[in-house]
A and B are shown apart, each in its own frame.
Chain A
């Protein structure tokens, strides 16, 4: 329990440190958000007036304190380019990215477990080798190239979905999920391949263990042993991989969103970076970092709950 609390505390500290670093980074760099907003209409007088309005003329420390106290209250101030609060701007987009990541996580799990089990059961024959080869190739496909291929094959050729025809989840949840399936698939495939190879190795290792032999020799049915003991134990090492996979999927969604024209956090982040809309950029980075840290924390806790040995040997 104490170890878990410690982990939680450390995660919170990490989030705070990330927030501070992000703010400092964006405060010291050259480039004036006021210029970006006024565009070709800029005159020195207008710029000055806008800077005052945006609070850019305040001393750095004061801005930092204001910003940080805002975050603590859950208020990410106002976007420069949209004249709306960053909160409401992002609140709409977080579910998009989150659902994409979770969706691909589900797809990854759904694909990888049966495939790994299948391959392990056919260890040594052609099927196992074929799976290994396909697996290795899929692992080497960059998600965005996979995305392009999926658009081409499933979208344009087979017409299973219409690339670009994104529907907001608030408008039609069914259509939204239908559209998100292929982007999620593109995101999930390389990770699923990694999961398959991890799980496969893990199952094969497990099969060699004494208890399995004992069970088999006692005449226990193969299936029972397989699902009751082998798969359960084999999954444990894969859980650590989940943490990394979630982080990668959240980050990977930035690129996949671009391939499939999905207006999620990634899209807003890219345009805000271009517009120097710092409040939005800072907020999104802090939020993505927090999501990643939290999912790692969650996986960590899960790991400890499933396999209590971990906590003891480490702390």
Chain B
């Protein structure tokens, strides 16, 4: 049985050979390739009309475009449409298609494609609107092969912010989920679930072409391995690292700081005892120390907020609301006593467990509430349970999440607090709010509209609808080999602007 020993030696040698042969060959890195880490895979849909998650939108931003698209200053710039006009009343929107815009399969974008895409979102033909605002569309007309006219049922000067919706090829609509074809600077190449999504620069792009040819969005599901992935060169960029992770990075990386553009708060179910008492809600607001939360989570980074609006929204944002409730434990206790809870009460805060930053916030808030006698029980649930119980079912007491804006309109943040809004998951009810909100909708004058939106924000703060905390800081880790990253006021990772550093 000498054979045995030989086989053994051979196997050993083979294993070693296999193990070490591949080492040198792979990082012969092509010049224009970037690997971007993403925290979660695209699990809703590659079809931009059906995609729901913010993490999906920021990837699809590179593949799809609307008639208009947001730029990094938060303004809407013409994209597939070269220009547009709105009538006085805010009812008829007329778009002129840009010349030379083609889909990734090489076909030119036609007015039929635009009509089909918008009608699909409006639910014209098959009922339900995919985007609520689109149910206001009365008709989509194409008077000639360069012009699209959208007529609304009721006037809405803010409607243009919805026109960022992706334009898809009319005869490719149903295949988009598996084979996405858009008009953006990058085209879709392939994906491997839980592994990556691969894009390639589109040569026929109408605008400024992307600098980097190949893009791989690599799924880094385990946040603990982000630093390792960056340091080892497995990924070149990771949007949204924590301050701890940033502090561990070597000087191979630039850490860029922006804001996440979301309203993080302890959202309160305004319908349940004792949170239905405004004094109790105010007491909770006084109990929270926003700075301490930011110190824990991000070494003090982040922007404190006082209402459902964040700084990127410029003209709508009201910094003065941040100081309505400065931390004051005595005042909080007083309010609780007034409301009939001198010894505090038990509060269950339900938090989706996959959002580490919200869980962390919850853990700090628990300590802060304890100081005024409010005994918090943290309940961590799966995202899906959160959606069905808290968000849709509204069966909860309080929750910590961040609410973002899907379009560049104040409405994206404020519409949910109208008494009968379908997504008013905190059961906020205020006639004054409804009135101010409706006035904002109805007004055609921008200054007036802004005034009413601000009134809405003020009501949310004074009613202590929620315990507002912060717009979290967003730290982007980017390998120094690359430059040109731009922050957007929406969820977007615009890879086309990134270029090699030299």
Contacts and interface: CB of A to CB of B under 8 A. Distances in A.
A156 interface: yes
Given A35-B388, A46-B128, A83-B178, A178 B19 contact: yes
Interface in A105-143: 106-107, 109-110, 113-114
A175 B194 CA distance: 19
Contacts of A161: 23
Contact of B44 (A31, A39, A167, A267): A39
A48 B232 CA distance: 46
Interface string B428-472: 000000000000000000000000000000000000000000000
- Which of B43, B47, B52, B231 is most buried by chain A, counting CB atoms within 10 A of its CB? B43
Given A81-B43, A263-B194, A172 B26 contact: yes
A31 B8 contact: no
Interface string B227-261: 01101111100000000000000000000000000
Interface of A: 31-32, 35-43, 45-46, 49, 79, 81-84, 89, 92-93, 106-107, 109-110, 113-114, 151, 155-156, 161-168, 172-179, 181, 227-228, 231-232, 258, 261, 263, 267-268, 270-271, 274-277
B384 A178 contact: no
B221 A267 contact: yes
A101 to B, nearest CB: 15
Nearest to B14: A106
A258 B222 contact: yes
Contact of B15 (A79, A81, A107, A267): A107
Given A39-B387, A172-B26, A176-B22, A110 B11 contact: yes
Nearest to A178: B22
Contact of B22 (A83, A175, A227): A175
Nearest to A228: B1
Interface string B280-312: 000000000000000000000000000000000
Nearest to A84: B178
B449 to A, nearest CB: 25
- Which of B40, B52, B177, B384 is most buried by chain A, counting CB atoms within 10 A of its CB? B384
Contacts of B12: 110
B387 A227 contact: no
B233 A168 contact: no
Contacts of B385: 31
A178 B20 contact: yes
B127 to A, nearest CB: 8
B225 interface: yes
A143 B422 CA distance: 48
Interface of B: 1-2, 4-5, 8, 11-12, 15, 18-23, 25-26, 40-41, 43-47, 52-53, 128, 177-178, 192-195, 219-222, 225, 228-229, 231-235, 354, 382-385, 387-388, 391-392, 422-423
Contacts of A41: 52
A242 B104 CA distance: 52
A275 B22 contact: no
B225 A40 contact: no
B228 A275 contact: no
Given A110-B12, A161-B23, A261-B220, 18 more contacts: A31-B388, A35-B384, A35-B388, A35-B392, A36-B383, A37-B44, A39-B387, A40-B391, A81-B43, A83-B46, A164-B228, A168-B192, A172-B22, A172-B25, A231-B1, A261-B221, A263-B192, A268-B193
Nearest to B235: A164
Nearest to B192: A92
A107 B225 CA distance: 25
Given A49-B128, A107-B15, A164-B220, A177 B22 contact: yes
Contacts of B384: 31-32, 35-36, 274-276
Closest 3 CB pairs of A and B: A174-B22, A162-B232, A178-B22
B23 A178 contact: yes
B376 to A, nearest CB: 24
A109 B14 CA distance: 13
A258 B445 CA distance: 55
B387 A275 contact: no
Contact of B387 (A36, A92, A151, A268): A36
B8 A113 contact: yes
A32 B194 CA distance: 22
Contacts of B228: 151, 155-156, 163-164
B232 A155 contact: yes
Contact of A181 (B19, B177, B388): B19
19 contacts: A32-B388, A35-B388, A49-B128, A84-B178, A89-B193, A107-B15, A109-B11, A113-B8, A156-B228, A163-B225, A164-B228, A166-B234, A173-B22, A174-B22, A175-B22, A177-B18, A227-B4, A231-B1, A261-B229
Given A110-B8, A162-B233, A271-B221, A168 B46 contact: no
A56 to B, nearest CB: 14
B18 A162 contact: no
